[in-house]
């Protein structure tokens, strides 16, 4: 009988200890074989036992045994894996056929199927039972003399994940691919694992979503929640049916999700203006959901986040006005009606999901108490942790919130989303989430990504790893594996780029390679004997920044990533250039050569003034929009103009986008609470509704005109060299440059 083995760690003296035949512990992520071949599997499996040094070749002809009824997506995935390792012929057998192939793979969704039990017995393995989506993968030469791979899941999802693991363990050498002899027992800790596209900003394109779904399947995520804030049919125009073209796109996504063993969750956010008790509004909600059900959606969510608590109609005031929390009572009424009339009446639908309006607060309230008491107990409740974006989600927090809501919880993790800080990107690993959340009412976690779909894959890889196996999750190891998976042959350059955008609301640590050298540089300047050596090291690190930017821009094969990250790669190059100049400037000052220091200072200041990035418009772009007011407080989704008569600044909150205009030309873009120019005006758009309109239609150098309260923005086709607002090496590079300049002042 196969028993679970303890995870082991590789030490620096592992090879020596092997020679001495001493058993050493190895990490859950890496298992070394006698021929020094490392087997890396992500997400980290629960248990993996490798027979050291034992492998067998993957022959050009491979047999596959499948039951009469099987999931065709699993067999197709296996066939693609085998072909990618140069298997030329795949022969399919039933469990009752005589197998004649030199290597045979046995697939099943039943670990107790007789033909699976028989094959496991030849490897001296007794089948176990696992939770849903679990699987057993065993490979080796049986006592019947035959080479075999057995992939048996608790269900076809588990078998599919076993095939994904097989792809990672096969090694392609200069000749034929080979398979290690091993046993993997694996299953996910969290029931719901995936992504919620719930950010403010430009929604992902259809092509990006298709690519994301394949990425989720590769990393054993099982949930994609469609909730883009700026899809009007999801939120502002929720009553309107999707146009045929858009509905067809969603249908395609549902189909692709199924092929990748992903549950596509369709969400509706009606809370801005719904009349909760109105049958007409409910019927529109029902019809919207039914249209999605008819194209294959089986998972639904009704979201009430980021809305006001007030009732939108007299009917609701009359029906719920006397409740301790009218809003909670109204929302519960709608959810329960939808549960009864839609979820329970449509075959195959899964649990309804919701987001309460109080989704991030710490304690209880009349709203939460009534929401907990009234909402159907089967409904899953989203929660972001304590705070909208939080650095930690602890077992204690989860238990407290679970006790308050009295419902099973899903975590809406607002990482790596950057819609609140658009000039920063967050590429670091997931940190600060306790390993035992599932023991405290949490049933899953979906991450809210950045609008930069390709770049989001780097942190999302680590989130897939965490949600599958939180107890064995190590953020640094997972991040390193993510970079390796993402980069191909450009690991060094992408690592250099990404480690300078590690900091986030989760973790303030930044620039893990260059920051310690900068600290030593100033220590040396202030009296250490090895200053010149440290200065040379720091100069070299800035050279690496510049060179890595050039290499990525010119050669990196993931062009979508380069397109998304262009401003940050330009900023990386910029800091490489001015960092070298700053080191030379300070070094000249240290050596007493003030003339040379001044020369470097002038060059540095020139580069600072030319910190730009290129944006190309291939055709003229003209957009018009009516103002919602002049010199007034900006409300939800409102477009407001501010002139000097209003005051020194617009006094707006962080949820929006503003541009400055002088003499009909846009001079500055981005931010909120902007200073109002004395000879111009500010245009300000709240992020609600079509909140990206202003950002998408303005650029420094564009023209702006206003006639009869209608603003027209025009961008002529061409290449624009605009100020680069991207933040890179946050709180590391800019302070270094400023301190260097002070040295020569």
Catalytic residues, by residue number, are 306
∠ Cα 654 660 662 (to 5°)? 170
Q: Cβ distance 123 to 138 under 8 Å?
A: yes
Q: Which residue has the tokens 């690519």?
A: 211
Distance, CA of 472 to CA of 26 (rounded, Å): 12
Residue for token pair 């048996």: 152
Nearest to 269, CA basis, from 303, 240, 300:
303
Alpha-carbon distances of 450 from 419, 424, 425, rounded to whole Å: 7, 10, 8
The token pair that represents 161 in the structure block: 């994940």
Distance CA 516, CA 17 (A): 34
Name the DSSP class of 488. T
User: Which residue carries 């959606």 as its tokens?
Assistant: 297
> Which residues, in sequence order, are bridge partners of residue 444?
192, 410
Q: Helix, strand, coil % (nearest 5) of the chain?
A: 40, 20, 40
Q: Which uninterrupted H or E stretch holds 503?
A: none
Length of the chain (residues): 745
| Count of Cβ atoms closer than 10 Å to residue 723 Cβ | 15
Of 202, 267, 199, which Cα lies nearest the Cα of 238?
267
- Among 404, 405, 430, smallest CA distance to 415 is for 430
Q: What distance lies between CA 247 and its chain's CA centroid?
A: 25
How far is Cα 94 from Cα 69, in angstroms, rounded to an integer? Answer: 10
Q: Where are the alpha helices (DSSP H) in 383-530?
A: 395-405, 453-468, 475-487, 491-498, 514-525
Q: Give the whole-angstrom CA distance, residue 328 versus residue 332.
A: 6
Please tell me the distance from the alpha carbon of residue 214 to that of residue 150, in angstroms, as a whole number: 24
Task: Name the token pair of 436.
Answer: 């035992």
Interatomic CA distance for residues 666 and 615, integer angstroms: 15
Q: To the nearest 10°, the Cα dihedral for 629, 632, 638, 642?
A: 80
CA dist 616 and 718 (Å) reads 6
What are the b/e assignments for 534-568, b being 16+ CB within 10 Å? bbeebbebbebbbebbebbbeebebeebbebbbbb
Distance (Å, rounded) from C-alpha 179 to C-alpha 87?
Answer: 13
Kindly give, in sequence order, each residue whose CB lies less than 8 Å from that of residue 69, ignoring residues fewer than 6 positions away.
none
Instruction: Tell me which H or E stretch contains 49.
Output: strand 47-57
CA distance 571 to 728: 7
DSSP string, 293-320: HHTT--EEEEE--S--SS-SSHHHHHHH
Strands 612-617, 621-626: pairing is unpaired
- Mention every residue, 6+ apart, whose C-beta is less than 8 A from residue 327: 309, 310, 311, 320, 357, 367
């Amino acid at each position: 009988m196969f028993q679970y083995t303890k995870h082991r760690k590789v030490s620096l003296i592992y090879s020596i200890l092997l020679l001495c035949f001493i058993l050493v512990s190895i990490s859950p992520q890496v298992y070394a074989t006698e021929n020094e071949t490392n087997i890396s599997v992500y997400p980290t499996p629960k248990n993996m036992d490798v027979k050291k040094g034992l492998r067998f070749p993957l022959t050009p002809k491979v047999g596959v045994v499948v039951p009469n009824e099987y999931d065709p997506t699993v067999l197709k995935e296996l066939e693609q894996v085998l072909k990618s390792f140069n298997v030329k012929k795949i022969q399919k057998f039933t469990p009752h056929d005589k197998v004649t192939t030199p290597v045979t793979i046995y697939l099943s969704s039943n670990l107790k199927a007789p033909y699976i039990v028989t094959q496991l017995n030849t490897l001296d393995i007794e089948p176990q039972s696992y939770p849903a989506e679990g699987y057993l993968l065993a490979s080796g030469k049986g006592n019947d003399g035959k080479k075999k791979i057995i992939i048996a899941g608790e269900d076809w999802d588990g078998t599919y994940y076993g095939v994904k693991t097989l792809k990672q363990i096969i090694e392609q050498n200069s000749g034929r691919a080979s398979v290690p002899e091993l046993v993997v027992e694996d299953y996910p800790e969290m029931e719901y694992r995936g992504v919620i596209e719930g950010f403010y900003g430009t929604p992902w394109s259809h092509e990006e979503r298709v690519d994301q779904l394949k990425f989720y399947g590769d990393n054993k995520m099982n949930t994609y929640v469609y909730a883009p804030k700026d899809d009007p049919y999801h939120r502002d125009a929720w009553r309107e049916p999707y146009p045929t073209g858009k509905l067809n796109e969603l249908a395609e996504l549902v189909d692709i999700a199924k092929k990748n063993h992903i549950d596509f969750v369709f969400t509706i956010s009606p809370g801005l203006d719904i009349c909760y008790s109105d049958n007409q509004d409910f019927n529109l909600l029902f019809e919207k959901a039914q249209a999605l059900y008819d194209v294959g959606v089986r998972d639904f969510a009704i979201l009430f986040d980021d809305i006001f608590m007030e009732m939108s109609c007299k009917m609701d005031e009359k029906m719920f006005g006397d409740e301790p929390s009218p809003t909670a009572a109204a929302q519960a009424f709608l959810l329960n009606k939808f549960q009864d009339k839609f979820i329970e009446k449509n075959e195959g639908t899964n649990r309804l999901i919701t987001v309460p309006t109080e989704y991030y607060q710490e304690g209880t309230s009349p709203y939460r108490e009534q929401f907990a008491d009234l909402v159907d107990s089967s409904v899953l409740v989203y929660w972001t942790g304590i705070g909208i974006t939080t650095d930690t989600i602890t077992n204690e927090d989860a238990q407290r919130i679970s006790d308050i809501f009295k419902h099973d919880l899903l975590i809406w993790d607002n990482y790596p989303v950057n819609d609140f800080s658009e000039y920063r990107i967050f590429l670091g690993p997931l940190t600060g989430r306790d390993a035992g959340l599932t023991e405290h009412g949490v049933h899953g976690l979906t991450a809210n990504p950045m609008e930069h779909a390709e770049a989001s894959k780097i942190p999302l890889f680590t989130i897939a790893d965490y949600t599958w196996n939180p107890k064995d999750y190590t953020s640094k190891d997972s991040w390193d594996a993510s970079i390796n998976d993402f980069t191909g042959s450009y690991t060094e350059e992408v690592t250099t780029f990404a480690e300078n955008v590690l900091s986030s609301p989760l973790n303030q640590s930044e620039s893990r390679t260059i920051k310690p050298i900068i600290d030593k540089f100033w220590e040396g300047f202030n009296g250490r004997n090895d200053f010149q050596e440290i200065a040379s090291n720091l100069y070299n690190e800035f050279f690496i920044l510049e060179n890595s930017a050039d290499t990525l821009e010119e050669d990196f094969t993931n062009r979508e990533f380069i397109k998304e990250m262009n401003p940050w790669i330009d900023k990386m190059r910029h800091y490489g250039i001015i960092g070298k100049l700053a080191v030379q400037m300070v070094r000249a000052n240290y050596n007493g050569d003030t003339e040379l220091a001044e020369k470097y200072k002038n060059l540095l200041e020139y580069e600072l003034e030319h910190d730009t990035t290129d944006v190309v418009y291939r055709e003229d772009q003209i957009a018009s929009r009516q103002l919602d007011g002049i010199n007034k407080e900006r409300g939800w989704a409102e477009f407001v103009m501010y002139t000097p008569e209003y005051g020194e600044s617009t006094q707006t909150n962080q949820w929006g986008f503003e541009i400055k205009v002088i003499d009909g030309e846009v001079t500055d873009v981005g931010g909120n609470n902007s200073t109002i120019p004395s000879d111009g005006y500010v245009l300000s758009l709240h992020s609600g509704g079509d909140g990206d309109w202003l950002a998408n239609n303005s650029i420094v150098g564009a023209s702006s005109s206003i006639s009869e309260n209608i603003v027209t923005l025009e961008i002529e086709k061409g290449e624009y060299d605009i100020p680069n607002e991207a933040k890179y090496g946050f709180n590391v590079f800019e302070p270094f440059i400023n301190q260097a300049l002070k040295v020569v002042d």
